[in-house]
Structure 1
C-alpha cells in the first residue's frame, strides 16, 4: 500500500462490486508510477464482503468495512 500518494481515489460501495471491479481493472491498466495514487474502498454494509476481499487480493487497495450503511457523503469522509 502506498504511504505517500499524490492522489487518493475513494470508492464508496454498496451492492456494486461488479462495476467496481471494472473500474479497478481499467484504472490499474494504466502505466503510472506505483506511488502516484492509492485506492480506498469503503464498504457501506454491502453483502458482497467475499467479492470485496477478492478485489483486495487482486489489487493494491485499502478496504474499510462499515458495520452499517452511513450514506455516500459520510462514506467518502470515512475514506
Structure 2
C-alpha cells in the first residue's frame, strides 16, 4: 500500500528523508566548527561511504562540498 501511494518502499522513503535531513544540517552548519562525520553521527548515518555515494547521486555533490560551500566553491575544484 505504501508503494502505491508514495511510489517507493518505506525503507527508500526513510533513506531519502534522512539524506534530505543531512543536506539541511550541512547547509546550516559552520564548516569551521563541524565535520560531515559529526553531523552524520548526530543523524545516525553510520556508513560514510554509502551515505556519500547516495548523497552524490541525489544532490550532485558530496556532503563535504555542501558543508564547505560557504568557504570554497566546490564546482571549481573538480569535486562535483
TM-score by length of 1: 0.34
Highest RCO, 1 vs 2 (Cα 8 Å, sep ≥ 6): 1
Question: Which protein has the bigger helix share?
Answer: 2
Going by fraction, where is strand more abundant, 1 or 2?
Answer: 1
Q: Normalization by structure 2: what TM-score?
A: 0.33
